[in-house]
Amino acid sequence: MCFSHFSMLLHLLLLICGLLSNRSNRALVNGGSSTVVLGDTATLPCKKPDTSEALTQISWQRRTRAKPLDDNFYVIDATTGPRFVNGGDNRFTFVGNIGDIDGTIQLSNVTLMDEGTYTCIITLFPSGNHRREVSLRLLVPPSTSLEDNPVILGDEEVFIANCTAAGSKPPAEIRWNTSSLDQILRTTSISTQHENGTATTVSSLFGKPSRDINGGLVQCVITAEGLTEEKALPLKIQVHFPPVEVQIIESSKDSFECKSEANPNANITWSRSNQFFPSSARVQGGRLQFLSMSSDLTGLYLCEASNRYGRKEIFVYVHVNSESSKTAWVLFAVLLVLVIGAGGAWKLHRSGKCQRSPEDLPVEVPLKEK
């Protein structure tokens, strides 16, 4: 009878020791956190350091976006091995080792709904349960884009471009490399948080649409934890303006080129005032070429540069003396300077707003035969 009482007291003492041991050993299970990119495979570690106690089972619980309450979903029995409880999910795989008291599992094709806290519970005899939480954190790389806004020449600051990093977790950071234009351009950024935990960041570029920034090269640089490296999106600033500084230059002894600065590029057309083009004159884009010199080339020629924002014209008077072709071209070079200055008056004449007086006309220099 005394032996029976002693045995009961011994079992009670062992039970109390086991409970105390359970409380003191809970921190011995290795856990931590796992950070993974959306769609990749996450490893959830759970291992008990060396122990002489016998393993009963390892079980897993989770609290995630999809399962906001504690959910028992996986058990690894020391005898029968791993199995799902409360419904299966074949994305989970047991990659640990029962003999080493290692209950590590992997979760493939991770989604935002999987993010949360996973609890590993190792049950030993006689110490009982040892718990450790493993945080699963997801990274989502942003979808990036750069949208430019072609602007028209002006004096007021306008919106030039938007750089967007959409659906990123955590929010992406955006900066602009503007090199020599940093004193001219200005940037703003705004981030919008979405219900699924991702965020969209938009950075805008502003500036005065001057010819100084037209063609300027800038970069939108996006940095995010979900990206393996920062992403740079290049942009060539486009400031649209009508043709300016139209010029006619002699490109060879028998041809002349009409040029103008414009954005988009100007369309160049040649015409002849009140006359058809002679058969010995040819036009190719901005080039006017005379195939042979004859008196029918003499006359006033108009070069017009135009795009959808405006147009500009310039005139040149050509005089050919068939008896001395060489002298005729020298005379043209002189008259070219004179006629360009008279272009405004000739446009008024074409509009009918004024009549030409003899002194308004290009001066024809009499030629002497050699």
For the stretch 277-301, pLDDT in tens is 788 888 888 999 888 877 778 888 8
The CATH architecture annotation of domain 25-138 reads Sandwich (2.60)
In sequence order, the β-bridge partners of residue 177 are: 219
Whether residue 241 has pLDDT greater than 90: yes
Lowest-pLDDT choice from 5-9, 73-77, 128-132, 236-240:
5-9
Note if the bond before 170 is cis, omega within 30 degrees: yes
pLDDT score recorded for residue 369: 30
Taking all residues of the chain, what is their mean pLDDT, rounded to a whole number?
81
* Residue 322: pLDDT band with limits 50, 70, 90: low
What does the pLDDT average to over 100-116?
A: 95
* Residue 20: pLDDT band with limits 50, 70, 90: very low
What is the homologous superfamily of the domain 241-360 according to CATH? Immunoglobulins (2.60.40.10)
DSSP 37: E
- The residue ranges of every structural domain in the chain are 25-138, 143-237, 241-360
Q: Confirm if 312 and 241 have CB atoms less than 8 A apart.
A: no
**10 Å Cβ neighbour count for 246?**
22
Q: Confirm if 139 and 172 have CB atoms less than 8 A apart.
A: no
Whether residue 213 has pLDDT greater than 80: yes
Pick the CATH number of 143-237 from 1.10.150.120, 2.60.40.10, 3.90.79.10, 3.30.2290.10: 2.60.40.10
Residue 347 vs residue 176, higher pLDDT: 176
